[in-house]
Structure formats: structure tokens, C-alpha cells
Structure 1
Amino acid sequence: MTNTVYKGDLPDDLDLGPIVAIDCETMGLLPHRDRLCVVQLSGGDGHAHLVQVAKGQRTAPNLVRLLENPDVLKLFHFGRFDIAAMLNAFGAVAAPVYCTKIASKLVRTYTDRHGLRNLLQDLLGVDISKHQQSSDWGRAELSTAQIDYAASDVLYLHRLREALNVRLLREERMEMAQACFDFLPMRAQLDLAGWPDDDLFAH
């Protein structure tokens, strides 16, 4: 297993396959205010690829090409935030997408614990540390602990999707989940457009 860090964009010749796990690190939790700092990706082969995004950077052609590729499924945990963060940074809408948090909420109705660490412990028996979650991701050089943390957020998402799909099929909620995934990029756009907390379907 290797974790590779790139400055500014993915390399031209990198092929991560038809399903790519993606996660983002930002300076905070408001995409309009808090800039995108790191995008980490994995093709499910045990390797992670981290792209450091410089302050003020508005383009990453290879990353954007992957985000917009209709033949590549982008796999997230709480994709609503990550999709919004990358849309705000690069103007690119990620699609098609799958979100393990949404899938969990649809099939793990016996709990309100849908964080990535909870899911990995419950479904895969994997324990990851979240210690670096609130560290300074805008620094010029990432620490080894930050790199390892960022990688852990994408290295298990392929296996997690498989485990959740078994449950979605069992509970006959796969079609419902897919409809949610299809809407997710628009939900992220609504966040950026000024409707972050509104339920548009409410009375």
C-alpha cells in the first residue's frame, strides 16, 4: 500500500478504474468560506493518491476530467460536502456518484451512527483514527499523520459500498438509494446557491 502526494493535479497517465473513492479536506465546513486543500482518491487497489490544492488554484484539468467522466462512478462518504467543495473550487460537478452515508441511513435505521468510522467498525471490522480531522490542511507540506489519515478516508470505501449494497438489496431499497445518489449533485449545488438548510419539499 502506498500513499502518493501530488501538487495541483493528478498526473496525466493515472488511471484509477471505473469506480473511484474520493474525499476532500478543507479549511473548515463551509464550502463558500473555507477553501479546498486536499483531494484524496483511491481506485480500490489499496493505494491512495492525494492532490494538494494551492490557495487560489481554480483549475485541475485531470481531476476535473475524472469528476465529470460519465463512465466513472465517484464514491463518497457524505458526498454532499465533497461535491460542493470541488464544485466551488473548480466549477466541476461530480457525477455519477454513490454516497455510503446515504446508503447507511437507508439500511441501518436501527442506529443514528452513520459516520465513516462507525460504518467501518460495524460492517468491515476496521478501525480508523480521526485524530487529524481538524488539523491544518492548508500547510505547504502535509505531515505523515495527515497523509495516513487522508488515505484512510478512501481506502475502504469500495468494500464498504459492497457491504452496503448487500443490505440495500436485502431491504429492497436499492432503487430508492439510486434516486438519492442521482439527486446528490443538485443538492450540493443548492448548498452553494444559498439553500443549505432548507427542505424544499417541506410545506
Structure 2
Amino acid sequence: MSALTSAAATPRPGAVLADLLPASSAARARVRDAALVVGGAALTGIAAQIALPIPGSPVPVTGQTFAALLVGAGLGAGRGFLALALYAVAGVAGMPWFAEASSGAGLPTLGYVMGMLLASVAVGTLARRGGDRGALRTAGTMAVGMALIYAVGVPYLALSTGMSLGEAVAAGLVPFLIGDALKAALAMGALPAAWKLAGRKG
């Protein structure tokens, strides 16, 4: 067993879940990372199609933000950012995988996608510091990521639609708080459980 394979098999400080996938050489590690980036973008695009319209709001409830945060935590800051950047660029270019099979640069919800880029970096950085290895730490990590998404998405929504900031908060933030709490609860269970499983296999 090579050093790369052995290191990938054992959870260690400073690692994210994707680092546990074995790669027997530097070239294979690059292939693995490229596949993870494409897979992370695809996962986000698929999750964005799980959408529930909110009456009076141009922003639907989707699985998009949850997937983006999981991608950031699971892949780490660098690969997570590249995955979300691929998702954003392809969607702006016409790939219909934004929420509700939409695409293009003129969407009032594009700010949320841009916020996901920042969130993936923050969440990935926190994950490398153990922010996804316990329930409370994971909740805090997810909260930071969601806050960054809204910090970009809500002002962008206001500017693109002519809403006041208060109206944008009411339409693009408040209706999603309960759903975000549920997403955080799911992450609190899923990510620490994945680490426990990895530790047993290691």
C-alpha cells in the first residue's frame, strides 16, 4: 500500500471527507479531485430541482443550499469552491440546473448562487479544522455558510427586483429559516456519522 493510499484510509486532523478517498499516485489524486468537483456541481444542480415555490417570493425553497454546503464541507475549501464555480458558470452559460431548471445571468436569485461560492470556502475551511466532526460544531459550520449565502443573496435580490432591503429580507430570508434549521439538523447527523464510519473503516 502506498503512502498516499494509507494516508487517505485513516481520518486525520486537517482532513475533509474527500481526502479519505484513496489515490495511489499524484496523477490519480488529480483525477479524483476533478471527478469530485464535477460531481459536486452535479449534486448541487440536481438538488436545486427539489423546489417548493413560496407565494409572494421569487425565491423557492430548494435543496440547493444544503447540497452546496455539503459539497463545501465534504470536499474542502478549494475543491468545494471549484465545484460551486463550475455550477455557477455553467448555469449562467445556459445549463438549466439553477432552481426550477432555470439558467442565465438575469435571475434575481443569482446572488444566492454567488453566496454559495463564499459559503463553500468558509464551510470547507471550518471542516478542515474539525467543524464537521461533531453535532454542535457542524451546526455552527452550517450556520456560518447559510449566513454568507443570505448576506449576498438578499441584497442582490433587492437590487435586481427593486425591493427595499426590508422587503427582500421578508421575501428572501424569513420564509426559509425553518427549512434551514431542518437542513442544519440533517447535516448535524450526516457529517459526524460519516466521520465515525470512516474511523471504523480506518
Name the TM tier (shorter chain): under 0.3
- Alignment TM-score, normalising by the size of structure 1: 0.27
Larger Rg over CA atoms: 2
- Alignment TM-score, normalising by the size of structure 2: 0.27
Q: Which has the higher helix share?
A: 2
Q: Which has the higher strand share?
A: 1
